[in-house]
Amino acid sequence: MAEFEILKKIKTYEDNYENLMKKMADAGKCNDVETIKECGKKIADLDEVISLAKKYRIQLTAIEDAKEMLKSEKDEEMHEFLKEEMSKSIEKKEILEHQIKLFLTPKDPNDNKNILVEIRAGAGGDEASLFAGELYRMYTRYAESNKWQHKVLSSSPQGIGGFKEIIFEINGKGVYGMMKYESGVHRVQRVPITESSGRIHTSTVTVAVLPEAEDIDIHIDPNQLRIDVFRSSGPGGQSVNTTDSAVRITHIPTGIIISCQDEKSQLQNKERALKILRARLLEIEQQKQLDAETKERRSQIGTGDRSERIRTYNFPQSRLTDHRINFTTHRLDEILEGDMDEIVDALKREDEEKKLDRIGII
């Protein structure tokens, strides 16, 4: 995108910003609280691009000034200094251009939401359950490194370790925007502990990352729910408690069944089950919208397709490969310890480039 086109696009935002500032000032004179609040929110949304625009113009001016001075400068040392300064300004301008372009791309309204993560053991029996536990540990360690909070909502632990299924929430700023690329089938290749011949087995685990649904996102009619309570039990059938605290909720229109028994309180289990149900219903609605959109939109990274094989974890070679972006690293151990920045950043960059290309502003 040429400089002229960028300036033309950001001028629209600058004009809108000035109009909002004027409107808010007028509302202040007549103490119109609602208008002040509405304008304040819109102004806050534009603050980033207005700041970028100012910095961008400063660098454009600095480049033009350096060009003019270079035309008449005779001193060789000063000439080199001006060239170096212009080079720095060009570099800063290009960085600002990229940031402005990203601002101009359509935003995912879910990016700042908290998430629910569902990890389920797939093909591979006990080995798949063990790896489901390792993925849970990887994600929670990554959450802790970002100072996000996490809590288990529902789990089905296996006696050998790991989980047949575990559902947990992660709360924090921008969580969905960072974690949404994890949805899909994760494949692990390694020699199981129980394998005496040393043969490498392949197992799979499915991950679904769901944006947390609020009441305003999804309305649940209580008349469409069947709620059953029962006594909690742990792995192997042993009793967890002696009261009917476990809750099973069936959403009659969709047939979705959610069971929660990790808490001792029936009310807490019910609240957790409803939270999971809202997220599942929101996922169904978003999938309907996605199916109605163009092929290009569906092909972008992070659509949340549970059936897509997205990644392979090869233990013998300490290799992780993300098949969507042809990304390979041999830092498997570090990533499983929660050091996921390298892969998350690579996925975000690829997704951003696809978005920029699709709207024609690369």
DSSP 224: G
- Average confidence score pLDDT of the chain: 86
Tell me how far apart the alpha carbons of residues 230 and 270 are, in angstroms, rounded to a whole number. 12
325 SS3 class: coil
Which residues, listed in sequence order, are joined to residue 175 by a DSSP beta bridge? none
Q: Which of 172, 88, 91, 157 lies closest to 119 in space, CA to CA?
A: 157
pLDDT at residue 239, as a whole number: 47
Coil, strand or helix at 115: strand
Angle between helix 341-358 and helix 76-104 axes, rounded to 10 deg: 80
CA–CA dist 317, 338 (Å, integer): 19
- The predicted pLDDT at position 293 comes to 54
How confident is the model at residue 163, as a pLDDT? 93
Kind and range of the H or E run holding 47: helix 33-72
Smallest CA-to-CA distance from 354 within 325, 317, 330, 313 is with 325
**Rounded Cα distance, 179 and 32, in Å:** 40
Bridge-based pairing of strands 225-230 and 246-251 is antiparallel
Nearest to 226 by CA among 244, 245, 253, 246: 253
Sequence-distant (6+) residues with CB within 8 A of 277 are 220, 249, 251, 256, 258
Residue 321 β-bridge partners: 312, 328
Residue whose entry in the numeric block shows the structure tokens 């305003």: 216
Give the Cα-Cα-Cα angle 120, 187, 279 (nearest 5 degrees): 35
| pLDDT tens track, the chain, 362 positions | 578 788 888 899 999 999 999 999 998 888 888 899 899 989 998 998 999 999 999 999 999 999 999 988 888 899 899 999 999 999 999 999 888 888 887 778 888 889 999 999 998 888 999 999 999 999 999 999 999 999 998 888 887 789 999 999 999 988 999 999 999 999 999 988 767 667 889 999 999 999 888 766 677 888 888 988 887 765 444 445 556 788 889 999 999 998 888 777 888 888 888 888 888 888 888 777 666 655 544 444 554 556 679 999 999 999 999 999 999 999 999 999 999 999 999 999 898 888 777 766 65
Q: How far is it, in rounded angstroms, from Cα 229 to Cα 233?
A: 12
What is the pLDDT at residue 243? Answer: 62
Cα–Cα dist 133/1, whole Å: 46
b/e code 272-299 from CB counts within 10 Å (16+ = b) = bbbbbbbbbbbbeebeeeeeeeeeeeee
Is the Cβ–Cβ distance between 284 and 220 less than 8 Å?
A: no
Residue holding tokens 């830092």? 331
* pLDDT value of residue 203: 93
Token pair of 129 as six digits: 């359950």
